Structure 1
């Protein structure tokens, strides 16, 4: 599972007619995988996430044009197109949680356990951590039943069990938009168009359009008049300084609840294990911090980031010639941002960090929100557990035969004891 290449459909706001082309490769691949005789009966849905949510906030008319362009493309495909829409951040978090728990088998219990609900505990669910370019989500089942913030609470009934789930989606806190926000905050004290940035490697340079920086709803509040049209970013490669600037993005000054993550958003105490996927996995996997058997301790992750960020750009570029420059140049920022988000934003400690598993796939399926979206739309997860036989048909037959033999043996034994046949009586003298 590789990091996605190219922009999402929201990236075509300036060339709406090209938005449909972004799906071409995906559709061609689907036609190869799905047998041709099943094309017409295979449903296709499109769910757009944070990039389109931001575009809709900025210009709803353009967002609808982009959505219409991709809808037309999907209608012309050989598949059974069922619709396209922009999903909410809450839905995105919930579908990610459903996906990983469905793939891990957390929702189901064996047939025997269905008959002993009070004597056994159902397998604990796993929390979901999702990170994209424009938003990030945290979703899990907290210990406390009652939520202090109903807008962050969802109720599911799956396979006969009820789940009260906490979820929140932070729009603008995906790794790409977070970088934008950091840059515009850094610009507030800039007197020239040159910015020394510790989140890029020493020797790396980049020109960024001021107009593009402020084009996102995430940075609109920081907009100011500047004497220069471009920002010239020069890397200095310092993890600690980079972390300090990133942590300024998380407002921890006020909390109207018993506990918050950041920006005054309610967060119950973290509970259980978590699966971290999408950009969480892509970045940590690149940095060799996503070992499936045992995740690297937090201190080791920080040490790895310090060493990676301090490497000169020329050395990094020579070591990874196959990686596109845009992605390679931002791994120092992205890795530092992930650690800061999980540690400072969500409050994972040295101990609870070990409960995070960075997931690319579960079995042969991708970890992410899309499978949960499809499962929901196609009603593949029932609210109630179907009646399952603890034994197979052959097992039942064998058990019935054995029970019959035992019963017959017991009757014979009782008859022999209470009405002894003549052959078993003692002889009369």
Structure 2
């Protein structure tokens, strides 16, 4: 009787095991899904060697890219201590040494195994353009020293060079429109797409030694020297861009008073100091600048007690020059003034030429095809795991039953 009971339990367990085995088999075979592994990130470094200061920007993008162009994000920005590299004309080695603290910081951020494949660039703007015109030998010495310093680090250094004014303006245009999502946008369908019915914006830049204007005209550009072409995220862009050397803030004010040293986006900083970057009318801006410029020195110092004296001294001239450039130079009027948006950052990312430069360069960096694996959906994997656990319990139980049917000598009980 006991033997028959053990045998019945054994056969029942075997039957259940068979059913569970078939269920696991079907789960594994019918629910297999081909999936892409997460793509690794790539990194890039761009030095913005401006006329008054230098900054290093660290960028990152997924290696698979979108329509040939990377979806680039800013990881970190590091301001180099001291003046721009053009100021080291008589001390070229100092220019190279000044870059090292920011390079050290970059090496802490970029994974060690990816450092040697990280493309690294140094782009110099109007300050070095002027130095090259004044003394090309000294300009080359400065470039040699900064190149030497960067080459000491385990990165893929691709050279230091002077950007043309048109390059500076057009790369800045890319940055602005990329950050404002007029070039590419992540859609509700969870994929990157070219935005429909979205107009691209023009870009104005006031630097220390030059000023740039870039926009997409509605008519063909006759002068090819002011025309640039880009293909970004599968879309073609023909732009008008022009740079005015020596019309930057520092160079322009040198004609009027002592040198004025400001950060990159002079259009923003000059008017932001007087709280004029929040969409005020042109009349309001003119009235505020006029009021400031007619105030006594004692009143100005009392209103801005913590501000540096040289900045206060130059604010009237700097803001007046900004207003003159926009109204008389670029011909903005009371109607079109409201179309200007003064910004320093968009989505916590610095507005400048370096991001646009990196975006455009990703077109020339080979894309990596994501590795693919075959696997189960999470729900099916969980179900299969539970069933396998039950099967193991039943197998253990069945072995226990079989063992119990044996006597110590190995014979079945009668």
TM superposition score normalised by structure 2: 0.62
2: distance between equivalents of 1:60 and 1:138?
27
Pair 1:51 & 2:131 matched: no
Aligned to 2:118: 42
Instruction: Report matched runs for 1:8-407 at 5 Å.
Output: 8-34=84-110, 38-108=114-184, 110=187, 121-144=196-219, 146-182=220-256, 278-291=265-278, 295-379=279-363
1: distance between equivalents of 2:105 and 2:288?
37
Once the two structures are TM-superposed, the CA of residue 172 in structure 1 deviates from its matched residue by: 0.5
CA contact (8 A) 2:213 2:243 kept: yes
SS at match of 2:255: helix
2: distance between equivalents of 1:105 and 1:375?
13
CA contact (8 A) 1:127 1:140 kept: yes
Change (3 A) 1:20 1:37: same
RMSD: 3.2
Tell me which structure has the larger Cα radius of gyration: 2
TM superposition score normalised by structure 1: 0.60
1: distance between equivalents of 2:308 and 2:146?
26
Aligned to 1:225: none
2: distance between equivalents of 1:9 and 1:88?
17
Change (3 A) 1:70 1:312: farther
- Number of aligned residues: 285
SS at match of 2:130: helix
CA contact (8 A) 1:8 1:22 kept: no
CA contact (8 A) 1:40 1:79 kept: yes
The one-character-per-residue Cα deviations of 1:36-71 (angstroms, maximum 9, x if unpaired) are 565444332100000100110111111111111111
2: distance between equivalents of 1:175 and 1:108?
33
Change (3 A) 1:356 1:32: farther
Once the two structures are TM-superposed, the CA of residue 21 in structure 1 deviates from its matched residue by: 3.5
Once the two structures are TM-superposed, the CA of residue 321 in structure 1 deviates from its matched residue by: 4.8
Q: Which deviates further from its counterpart, 57-66 or 298-307?
A: 298-307
SS at match of 1:284: helix
Q: Normalized per residue, which structure has more strand?
A: 2
Change (3 A) 1:131 1:319: same
CA contact (8 A) 1:141 1:163 kept: yes
2: distance between equivalents of 1:301 and 1:378?
40
Q: Which deviates further from its counterpart, 173-182 or 156-165?
A: 156-165
Once the two structures are TM-superposed, the CA of residue 158 in structure 1 deviates from its matched residue by: 2.1
CA contact (8 A) 2:232 2:360 kept: no
CA contact (8 A) 2:150 2:157 kept: yes
CA contact (8 A) 1:158 1:381 kept: no
2: distance between equivalents of 1:318 and 1:14?
40
Once the two structures are TM-superposed, the CA of residue 121 in structure 1 deviates from its matched residue by: 4.6
Change (3 A) 1:75 1:127: same
Q: Which has the higher contact order (CA 8 A, sep 6+)?
A: 2
1: distance between equivalents of 2:131 and 2:266?
20
Aligned to 2:407: none
Change (3 A) 1:319 1:105: same
Change (3 A) 1:121 1:26: same
Which ranges in structure 2 are unaligned for 5 or more consecutive residues? 1-51, 54-80, 367-376, 378-414
